[in-house]
Amino acid sequence: MNRINETFKRLRAEGKKAFIPYVTAGDPDIRTSKKIVSALAKAGADIIELGVPFSDPLADGPTIQKAIQRSLDAGCSVRKVFDMVRELRRRASVPFVFMTYYNIVFNYGIERFIREAKICGADGIIVPDLPMEESKGLMDIADREDFCLIMLTAPTTPAERFRKIAGRSRGFVYYVSLTGVTGVREKLSDKLKGDIKKLKKMTAKPVCVGFGISNPAQARDVADVSDGVIVGSAIIRLIEKNPDDKSAMVEKVEVFAGAVAKAVHG
Amino acid sequence: MRKTRRVPDTKGYFGDFGGRYIPETLMPAIRELTAAYRKTGSSPSFRKRLEYYLKEYAGRPTPLYFAEKLTKKLGGAKIYLKREDLLHTGAHKINNTIAQALLALEMGKKRLIAETGAGQHGVATATVAALFGLKCDVYMGTKDVERQSLNVFRMKLLGSRVIPVSSGSCTLKDAMNEAIRDWVTNVRDTHYVIGSVAGPHPYPMMVRDFQCVIGREARGQVLKKEGRLPTHLVACVGGGSNALGLFHPFYNDEKVSFIGVEAAGLGLKTGRHAAALLKGRVGILHGSKSFMLEDEDGQVSLAHSISAGLDYPGVGPEHAFYQKTGRAEYAAVNDREALEGVKLLSRTEGIIPALETAHAVYYLKKLAKKTRKSDIIVVCLSGRGDKDIDIMKEHM
């Protein structure tokens, strides 16, 4: 069984929700990035989302755009991300999910990407610019490798379409909390909790919520009604703000992630 | 006509190219747009309104001008210029923006957004926004804001906001990323007016259809003047909208050859160019699968061209399809040659072309040698050169 499914099975048994932090792999450099990922695991992450950098990230706001730029400037590549995961996998049991744009996968070769990702110890992939209609090729290969293609749904997704996407999604269903790009938001929509409750009734699969969630209180709120909370830009801000002191950077990430994990786990 | 209807298919594919690679948030809007285009786009009342504005406001039909002096100078085929530069706002872009604005009104959208490189599409969008009372924000790379300052001022004068984009290469591709991000955020009340035959389906098809007025007119005009079809059609290709507008109505006229001219920038061997079809690989950029410039890891490369409108690492999927099937050939003209093209047309015919257009003009020099006097070339004079005067001054 895929590690992602195992994780949700365990969390359900424990009556807990998943804390899913996102960082861009290789930000600010591969070495520090590995330490950051280990720190996230230590802080209580249930699944870790790793961005594989792409030069034109059209679903991302400024914070993640800059993270991707730092990573690319430091020489990150698909192969280096795979190596990084392979090394992390030796010590970590937490599921790793890649988040990347379709051109990166297409260019590497869909089959080759999924196979190598699986071998190095990753468990799933999220591709924000690959809607259901274009996903069959990648889905077939991922299914064959027991690798989860996690599909995204949005506030603009009609109910019938949500059911279809949820049916095809593997591991969990990613619900984008807002119409917009990634990035910290002061306040989440008043409608969000109600919307998630409705969506939960339409699928038996775990529904995890991302985009805009930036502090423990918001995370707690969303965790109440969903199966997991994805936090990205708020963590990346700590990387951005501490460029010169790498150990302080890692420590701040760990402390913040620990606080969010605690809020989510209750 | 049967043959032309085949592409794209219902999923927006031109053979292997095209499709819809966009965030889920946008899918309902894209489906709404597709449905609105299918329903409204062909309705008699919409066609009538569109024709009215194209004629009374934009200045259609544009002349098909026999460039006698240029023909003599180059010593080959008879050269006709399809004078899109004479349209209101100075380029073919207005054909598409009037149509998309009318469609946006039908869909009840209150706001337009656009990306622009040279500023021509931005100006054309700002113009229709003013005309139809819509709000308008135009995204433009900071590098282009600088080199096309006249157009920036025009857009502001027309009441639009120009939002400078300073990510990536600070040019058209980054402006398009930012416009897509805006659209994801404001999708419920905003229509994204894409200016080229790029982006997710239905844009490549829709923009092509709206630009086909160029080729339909040219076909009728050349038949009237010459009693036969041209042998060659020539147009510059960045995203490729003026080229498809000219080419597509001749698609089934198999004896008419199509030549698209890409920007060779500092030279095809230097790596600093914008020749996606000639030098690129297949990939996914801005919502569709086509040829693009990228490195071995799939990171999009920076394009380079003296002309901001061609400075784009991608190209419309229908051009990729034409190249693959051999329906069109593609060539490239570099920065220096394009400047020569400007001079050539200015001095022989008294017409100062835009730098984009000058790529096609210069190519005529190469093509004329290979043609007979009995051949007929129609070149799309896609835009006028006023906006480029500062760059020309700097380089000449």
Contacts of A104 in chain B (CB under 8 A): 297-298
Question: Would you state the pLDDT for residue B1?
Answer: 41
**Which pLDDT tens digit goes with each residue over B236-287?**
999 999 999 999 999 999 999 999 999 999 999 999 999 999 999 999 999 9
- Residue A167: partners with Cβ closer than 8 Å, 6 or more residues away: A203
* DSSP letter assigned to residue A30: H
Name the amino acid, one letter, at B113: I
A102·B284 Cβ contact <8 A: yes
- Chain A residues near any Cβ of chain B (below 8 Å): 53-59, 61, 65, 69, 72, 77-78, 101-104, 106-108, 128-134, 151-158, 161, 165, 176, 179-181
| Residue whose entry in the numeric block shows the structure tokens 């000058």 | B358
Comparing B253 with B396, the larger pLDDT belongs to B253
Q: Cα(A44)–Cα(B355) distance, rounded to whole angstroms? A: 57
Of residues B160, B257, B305, B382, which has the active-site annotation? B382
* C-alpha of A41 from chain center: 13
pTM: 0.96
First to last CA, chain A: 27
Query: Percent of chain A scored above 70 by pLDDT?
Result: 100
Interchain pair B184, A106: CB under 8 A: no
In the prediction, which pLDDT does B113 show? 98
B4 pLDDT band, cuts 50/70/90, is: very low
Q: Which of A102, A108, A152 sits opposite B21 (nearest CB)?
A: A102
pLDDT of res. B169: 82
Model confidence at B7, pLDDT cuts 50, 70, 90, reads: confident
Integer Cα distance of B382 and B91 in angstroms: 5
* Cα separation, A189 vs B104, whole angstroms: 27
Closest-CA distance, A258 to chain B, in angstroms, reads 31
Share of chain B above pLDDT 70, in %: 98
Q: Is the pLDDT of residue A3 over 90?
A: yes
pLDDT digits (tens, 9 = 90+) for A117-156: 999 999 999 999 999 999 999 999 999 999 999 999 999 9
Delineate the domains of chain A, giving CATH numbers in brackets. 3-265 (3.20.20.70)
Helix (H) or strand (E) holding B379: strand B376-380
- What is the per-residue pLDDT across B8-26, written as a single tens digit (0 to 9) for each? 999 999 999 999 999 999 9
B10 touches chain A (CB under 8 A): no
> What does the pLDDT look like over B212-223, one tens digit per residue?
999 999 999 999
Residue B2 has pLDDT above 50, yes or no: no
Structure tokens at B266: 């500092």
- Average pLDDT over every residue of B152-176: 94
pLDDT value at residue B396: 87
Q: How far is B192 from chain A (nearest CA, A)?
A: 15
pLDDT at residue number B6: 67
Q: Is B364 exposed, middle or buried (0-12, 13-18, 19+ CB in 10 A)?
A: buried
**Strands of B64-66's sheet, edge to edge?**
B64-66, B78-82, B376-380, B232-236, B257-265, B328-334
Tokens 């909370």 belong to A229
